[in-house]
Amino acid sequence: MAFLKGQIRKALSGFYYVYAEGETFQTRARGNFRNRKITPLVGDEVIFESDNVTDGYLLEILPRQNELVRPPVANVDQGVIVMSMVEPNFSYNLLDRFLVTLEEKGIEPIIYLTKVDLLTGTEAVSVASVEKIYTQIGYPVIAAKNEDDRQAVQELEQYFPERLTVFMGQSGAGKSTLLNKISPELQLATNEISESLGRGKHTTRHVELLPLYDGLVADTPGFSSIDFLEMTLTELPKRFPEFVEAAPACKFRECMHHKEPGCEVKHQVETGAIAQTRYDNYLQFRLEIENRRPIYKKK
């Protein structure tokens, strides 16, 4: 038996398809994985043994840099957050949820705005205001005029080489449509927004990593809504890069930027250096974490 190191690119019906040395090997997990409560994930770097490409066994999962639940992928480098400007309407709150979650996982965000051509100018949020807030923090923002905006897609594609990328964002914002544009062979099922529900139907299947533009892209759009199940109150402010930058000037070293006097973050919100929407969302996320029911883990 040859021992090899590779990466799981697809998981389906109990089989793990591992890419190693230019080939794909079909493998199964050893029984002791279940006993040790280890679930191999797409994106995992693994050690496996195999005599041929259809008959291998996973022996060990190497340490992960991160993992996502939806889609179930490990070792993600960047997340493309697809946000619609209209139908569904843009939400600062939802975008900040995605950003905070990616920051917690150490995943670099890219913000991709869709349906820009449908803006009439009467909406509460403009592309310029979104770009101003988030590029100032350091996040890339790409605005696609419409589904066929080739320039926006090309701008996005330049981020793919050497990275593992996942897509996420609002239901109905066009994640599947965008993935199909980037890689027509995907043919992801794209559903119209369900008028009665006002949100997109789930069209996701198993997860597979596809080699695209010298990188890897998960072929399944990820979560479209988020609650902070595991984050603590002390972790939350560390997920806002502009708060982290301002914090050394706060009067108290462990300032939570809430009710403390001499808070530099609150001062910067007053002067407009930090966006009011970001601070308001921070306070709301704090409340959600405070009001979260304790999770009792079975021993």
Contacts of 239 (CB under 8 A, 6+ apart): 99, 100, 103, 104, 231
Q: How far apart are CA 44 and CA 8, in angstroms?
A: 6
User: What pLDDT was estimated at residue 205?
Assistant: 54
Number of domains in the chain: 3
Confidence label for 186 from pLDDT (cuts 50, 70 and 90): low
Helix (H, G, I), strand (E, B) or coil at 164: strand
Query: Is residue 229 in some structural domain?
Result: no
Contacts of 114 (CB under 8 A, 6+ apart): 82, 83, 84, 85, 144, 147, 173, 174, 178
pLDDT in tens, 119-173: 887 777 899 999 999 999 999 999 999 888 999 999 999 999 999 999 998 888 8
Q: What are phi and psi of 180, to 5 degrees?
A: -65, -35
Most confident of 85-94, 221-230, 261-270: 261-270
Q: What is the mean pLDDT of residues 53-59?
A: 91
Q: How far apart are CA 140 and CA 23, in angstroms?
A: 35
pLDDT in tens, 99-115: 999 999 999 999 999 99
Query: Is residue 230 in some structural domain?
Result: no
Q: What CATH number corresponds to the domain at position 160?
A: 3.40.50.300
Determine contact, residues 236/254, Cβ cutoff 8 Å: no
Claim to verify: residue 285 and residue 153 sit in the same structural domain: no
Q: Which domain holds residue 271?
A: 236-291
- Mean pLDDT score across all residues of the chain: 88
Query: Is residue 231 in some structural domain?
Result: no
Q: How far apart are CA 181 and CA 187, in angstroms?
A: 9
Claim to verify: residue 55 and residue 110 sit in the same structural domain: no
Q: What is the mean pLDDT of residues 193-203?
A: 42
Claim to verify: residue 115 and residue 202 sit in the same structural domain: yes
Looking up tokens 């789930």 gives: 202
Picking from 16, 34, 63, the residue at the C-terminal end of a domain is: 63
pLDDT in tens, 6-40: 999 999 888 999 999 999 999 999 878 888 888 99
Q: What percent of the chain has pLDDT over 90?
A: 62
Q: What CATH number corresponds to the domain at position 11?
A: 2.40.50.140
Lowest mean pLDDT among 80-84, 86-90, 283-287: 86-90
Confidence label for 199 from pLDDT (cuts 50, 70 and 90): very low
Helix axes 92-105 and 276-291, enclosed angle (nearest 10): 70
pLDDT in tens, 238-290: 999 999 999 999 999 999 999 999 999 999 999 999 999 999 999 999 999 99
Claim to verify: residue 214 and residue 264 sit in the same structural domain: no
Could you give the residue ranges of the DSSP H alpha helices within the chain? 31-35, 92-105, 127-137, 150-157, 175-182, 241-246, 264-271, 276-291
Claim to verify: residue 58 and residue 79 sit in the same structural domain: no
Claim to verify: residue 141 and residue 211 sit in the same structural domain: yes
